[in-house]
Each structure stands twice: as structure tokens, then as C-alpha cells.
Amino acid sequence: PPRKPRCVGFRFKGRMTQGGVIPISLGLRPKESGFSMIDHTSLGVRSYQKAIAFYSACLAPLGYELQRDTGEEAAFGTPEAWGFFLYPALEPLPIVGERNHVAFRAPSRAAVEAFHEAAKSKGASSKRAPGGRPDIGPDYYGAVLIDPDGHTIEAVHWSKAS
């Protein structure tokens, strides 16, 4: 797939905690700047086909689809940009890291809500229902869930409350 441009001029403000950096504000949000700090990410999964079905369902409301499935790698995104991958992981290696999560960009608040419902319908447990988080920022609207493999996932939309 095509590569996105390098991230330049991305400013991050946060505060350190024992668990890492907690975002307070972002100088240039990827949507506004056209840049994204992370090129792609991947997760190991125990049940590869079940994970593909899960992520196909919950990423659809966000505008992302399965782009390729080789049986050893599932690539999700848009035809122009693949940014999320699944790989089968064998026991006994751990697949979930403490305090790790993947946040997917959502085009609207309604898409965050649809992501949340689709993920729950496919076996995810809700960690935080869709809503705002003034402690994160006035423009934040998101939802956080735990997928069937135990990964923490989030859908987030940044915009003024409507």
C-alpha cells in the first residue's frame, strides 16, 4: 500500500505518570494537519478468523475495511492506506500488554457509537461508553472496549460538541 507522508511539525503536550504520558492537548491533530504520527500497528490474535470477523464489523462504521487476508496477515484500512494488521499468535506467548491500546480515528460521533455497538455485538466488553472526556479535551468524543482477545481498543472523534 502507499506510504503516508512523514509526520512533521506534530506537537504533543502531556503529563507524565507512572503509566506513561497522558495526553492533555495536541498541537496539530492528524486530521487537521494531514499527518499521522503512527504509520501502522498490529495485534496478535488467538482466533484469526474470529478476529477478522470482529474487526470487519466494528471498523466498518469508521470507514475501514479488510483490504487483504493472506491467512497469515489481515490488513485493514482504506484502499489508499492500510494501517491496522492482525497476525495469528500461538500459545503460550502473551499477546496483550499492560496499558496498551489502539485508538481508531472516527469520522463522526455517530461512527463512534456504531463502532461501540458493533464491537459489543461481536463479543467485546465496554470499558467506557461513547461520550466526551473533559479531562482529555473539550473536543474529544470516544468509546473504549476490550476485544475478545483482551486488547483495549478505542474509537475517537475530535470535534466541537454539536
At 69-91, the pLDDT tens digits run 999 999 999 999 999 999 999 88
The backbone region for 63, taken as left when phi is positive above 0, alpha when psi lies in -120 to 50, beta otherwise, is: left
Mean pLDDT of the chain: 83
Query: Cell numbers of 113, please?
Result: 457509537
d(CA 105, CA 67) in angstroms, rounded, equals: 17
pLDDT value at residue 10: 30
Please state, as a whole number, how many other Cβ atoms lie within 10 Å of the Cβ of residue 145. Answer: 24
Percent over 70 (pLDDT), the chain: 77
Helix residue ranges per DSSP H, 38-161: 48-59, 109-121
Question: What's the distance, CA 124 to chain centroid?
Answer: 14
- List the single range of 5-14, 45-54, 147-156 with lowest mean pLDDT: 5-14
Q: How far apart are the first and last CA of the chain?
A: 35
The backbone region for 150, taken as left when phi is positive above 0, alpha when psi lies in -120 to 50, beta otherwise, is: left
Question: What's the distance, CA 137 to chain centroid?
Answer: 18
